[in-house]
Chains A and B, each alone.
Chain A
Amino acid sequence: MTSLLELHNLTKAFFGIAAVKDVSLSINAGETLGLIGQNGAGKSTLVNIVGGVVHSDSGHMTLSEQPYTPRIPADAQHAGVAFIHQELNLFTNLTIAENIFISNFPRMGVLRTIDRAKIKALTGELLASVGLDIPSDTYVERISPGERQLVEIAKALYQDASLIIFDEPTTSLTARETERLFAIMGQLRAQGKAIVYISHILGDVQKLSDQIAVMRDGELVACEPASALTIKRMISLMVGRSIEQLYPKRTTSPTTDPLLTAKNISASGIVEDISFTLHKGEVLGLFGLMGSGRTELARMIFGADQFESGEIVVEGELVRKPSPRSSIHNKIAFVTENRREEGLLMSIDIANNISLVSLPEFARSMLQVIDQRQMFDSARETANTLQLKSGDIRQQPVKSLSGGNQQKVVIAKWLLSRPSIFIMDEPTRGIDVGAKYEIYTIIDRLAAEGSGVLIISSELEELIGMCDRILVMSRGEIYGEFTREQFQDERILRAAFREQDLPMMSVHDGQAKRD
């Protein structure tokens, strides 16, 4: 079989740190290559070189036995390489059809006007082939993230690519949409297209791939048939050692001193009558399906959104009008779900991002001049405690960091203000196993030092691994509460799905034990 795409000795460095080191790899037509590795292992950089988004410092590529040197993404597209990025790349102010054809509309007549009838018909076919039943003239701002992902795929289909790169395509998809995506990938493979599939969900990678390439610290450490790799071995290849446990052992147990109490919080159409207490030294999990109101609740507690009735008490004191300002004053930290948009100033250097919340502490004299040296020293110290992997923190912009390291910057930012309450919304989303373990260790340390941590997650396993107690939200209400001895994934999931045989709140059932 001839190789469709061959990479020869590709190397790329950012800010003096090698992101891709001497990688050689080939992929055949009709084959799916799984690409795995920790965040920062160089997967995204590697596929960005293939997609023409970044240029390699050395090495070369061939596509269908021809030299392949994409300078810009358009070159890659013309050569038949489609790229479905982790972040969606659609124009929200245009329609679905316009998005698909934006770089090359079918046109007609002497005036070269857009052939609306034709794009409508073509888009209809493309959308049908990805199973999306939405009119082609719907504006993209009106469709859900999962639907947008399918539009991206429809776009790749239209470009008739011979190689399609999927970079973490399932993070924003529901289970059903994910199934549909996998079915489409199967069809594409049957049509002889080559697929590169990047994901942190190793089970999916194993199921979908013919070959699996594992990267670590910019190097390709293995490329083996999927059938020859177990998930355990994939993980040990990724981290370079075998991970015995995914979660650190919790070092302390929670106290009974209330730190934060929410009483009967309601906001019409969003949450209803929410009450709970977070104690000192406690790690409290908030589990719920997508759209159960978890994030909305977290934002209300932090004061980022308003609620209509109910109250919030922090360390025995009623918070009159919760706002992000009052919350920061009350030593509440909020690690947001969407670190790209809400948590970080992406083009600013790491040190300034870290010191953002605690800037007033470094202001000196009446003029409130910032003590730069102390600010950088503190930022560096915090970065070191979290083992942030970066170049010079005063120079390197946050956007050049890997996902896991970006998340560490968000945590560092809050850590510097020494909060007593942490609200973390999906703290390990899109982060690899190794970085996850480090984040869990940080969470355990925070609790051991007497902070209260509220973790919101859609990964039940991680909550079971880390929490002292789990609250389950469903349709804007708290629908179940489980203490550590009651942890059992099936029961918790049933609560999230509002199964009727489940008694409401505090299930006391001795046999439900975690093994």
Chain B
Amino acid sequence: MQKQPFNVFRFFLNNSTIFLFIAVFIIFGLSSPRTAIGDTGIDFPRFWLPENILNIIKQAAVFAGIIGVGMTFVLLTAGIDLSVGSNMYLSVVCAGLLMRSSGLEIVPALFVSLLVGTLYGAFNAFCIVRLKIIPFMTTLATLVVGRGLGTALTSSQQIDFPERMNAFGQTMVFGVIPMPIVVFVLVVLAAWFILTQTQFGRQVYAVGNDIDVAKKAGINTDRNLAMVYIISGFCAGLAGFVLASQLGGRVDRSFGETREFDAIAAAVLGGTSLFGGVGNVFGTVIGAMLIQMVGIGLQFNLVNLYLQPMARAFIIFLAIFFDSLREANYKKLKRRFIRPVHSASSEARAADAGD
């Protein structure tokens, strides 16, 4: 192994998402409206206020973060789960209907949501592993079926949760940290633990690297593949419930729509490869926060509402473009050298002849 000399361009490329994250943070901060802090007379950008930063993290958690962590498991095996948005909707609809009809408390309702989400994921797993339908088609189908089922259960009506749902959403842990952030941190830590410290986690990476080799190595690939879709489903059930609590307990038929896109984008922005075997959950956290920061930043800067999705897409495009540059550069690094690189080859030859 040779040590590469430090190269600014390469350093930037290898950490492009972080740099993009910092750049976006600074640019939106400088351009956002200012507010005076107390009576110090200092104008401080509202974008950089702690409340706003907490808000970004909170929204990142509920919109793309939790399902992004589940998606990371799936992408690591070179699979995909397009059904997470519909899963969020169906899970929380089931919980909400039970809360309204039989007065279910928050904790049992949460379990209902988790159970439905997990079963939803288990159904995906069954189709993919047992029926051998490719993940893209399976989850595209269950995306439609899940939302259809949810719409049928609610007769396409909005569900209004009891007031305790809203109260649950406003819970502050230790009096200062919003509940969704705590949930997100727990999910990320658990995922990190599973992926790096357990046999199952390492096998997920192995399956994503080469599934045929994994089979030959005696890994139960079917069980591993099934598990990642179940985990993704569990995360969707959790994210659905937490998101509903943030929206004041109102869930309409568009709840969770296109969230799968944000989840995939968060993971890929965070360095997870769509081809499997490469990625980690902390990257997904950065990716989810970047997406949310752009969204909120655009609102702060009063960008035309209809242009906002385009601006977000542009940021995602930029990050993925850097990723492909990185890949090309990585290939160049792996090039084999078989003679000294310095161009003074005539010297080398002279030296060779001499000894």
Contact = CB atoms under 8 A, between A and B. Distances in A.
Interface of A: 53, 72-74, 77-78, 83, 85, 89-94, 98, 102-105, 107, 111-114, 142, 266, 268-273, 291-293, 296, 475-477, 498
A72 B214 CA distance: 12
Contact of B345 (A104, A272, A292): A272
9 contacts: A73-B215, A74-B220, A91-B205, A93-B208, A98-B206, A102-B199, A102-B217, A105-B199, A269-B338
A270 B210 CA distance: 31
Interface in B326-355: 335-341, 343, 345, 349, 352
Given A73-B215, A89-B216, A89-B217, A114 B199 contact: yes
A112 B220 contact: no
Interface string B33-51: 0000000000000000000
A104 B210 CA distance: 18
Contacts of A476: 338-339
A296 B338 contact: yes
A293 to B, nearest CB: 5
A98 B197 CA distance: 11
A269 B333 CA distance: 13
A89 B202 CA distance: 16
A98 B278 CA distance: 15
Nearest to B209: A91
Contacts of A271: 339
A112 B339 contact: no
Is chain A's interface secondary structure helix, strand, loop, or mixed overall? loop
Contacts of A72: 215, 218
Interface residues of B, number: 33
Contacts of A114: 197-199, 202
Contact of A270 (B198, B208, B220, B337): B337
Given A74-B220, A92-B209, A272-B339, 18 more contacts: A73-B215, A73-B218, A74-B219, A91-B217, A93-B205, A93-B209, A102-B202, A102-B203, A114-B198, A268-B343, A269-B337, A269-B338, A270-B336, A270-B337, A292-B338, A475-B339, A477-B339, A477-B349
A73 B197 contact: no
A192 to B, nearest CB: 23
Interface string B189-215: 000010001110011011011100111
Contacts of A91: 205-206, 209-210, 213-214, 217, 277
Nearest to B278: A93
A83 B217 CA distance: 9
B1 interface: yes
A91 B217 CA distance: 10
A351 B31 CA distance: 62
Contacts of B341: 268-269
A73 B220 CA distance: 10
Given A114-B198, A269-B341, A498-B352, A73 B205 contact: no
A85 B205 contact: no
B219 A112 contact: no
B19 to A, nearest CB: 24
Interface of B: 1, 193, 197-199, 202-203, 205-206, 208-210, 213-220, 277-278, 335-341, 343, 345, 349, 352
A74 B218 contact: yes
Contacts of A111: 193, 197-198
B337 A103 contact: no
B197 A113 contact: yes
Contact of B336 (A73, A113, A296): A296
Contacts, number: 99
Given A269-B339, A476-B338, A73 B202 contact: no
Given A270-B339, A272-B339, A90 B213 contact: yes
Nearest to B216: A73
Contacts of A102: 199, 202-203, 206, 214, 217, 219
B205 A94 contact: yes
B73 to A, nearest CB: 15
B60 to A, nearest CB: 27
A269 B203 CA distance: 38
A293 B208 CA distance: 33
Contacts of B209: 91-94
A197 B69 CA distance: 46
B338 A270 contact: yes
A103 B338 contact: no
A494 to B, nearest CB: 15
Nearest to A159: B218
Contacts of B278: 93
Contact of B206 (A94, A268, A272): A94
B198 A113 contact: yes
Contacts of B337: 269-270
A273 B345 contact: yes
Q: Which of B216, B335, B343 has the most CB of A within 10 A?
A: B216
Contacts of B199: 102, 104-105, 107, 112, 114
Contacts of B216: 53, 73, 83, 85, 89
Nearest to B207: A91
Nearest to B218: A74
Contacts of B213: 89-91
A104 B335 CA distance: 34
B186 to A, nearest CB: 15
B197 A103 contact: no
Contact of B217 (A103, A113, A498): A103
Nearest to A272: B345
A105 B205 contact: no
Contacts of A498: 352
B338 A98 contact: no
Contacts of B219: 74, 102-103
Nearest to B212: A89
B202 A94 contact: yes
A229 to B, nearest CB: 32
A113 B197 CA distance: 5
A308 to B, nearest CB: 9
Contacts of B210: 91
Contacts of A90: 213
Contact of A105 (B1, B202, B220, B349): B202
A366 B57 CA distance: 56
A273 B214 CA distance: 45
A103 B336 CA distance: 32
A475 B216 CA distance: 38
Nearest to B355: A500
Contacts of B215: 72-73
Nearest to B76: A93
Contacts of B343: 268
Contacts of A104: 199, 218
Contacts of B220: 74
Contacts of B277: 91, 93
Contacts of B335: 270
Contacts of B336: 270, 291, 296
A93 B219 CA distance: 16
Contacts of B218: 72-74, 77-78, 103-104
A107 B201 CA distance: 13
Nearest to A292: B338
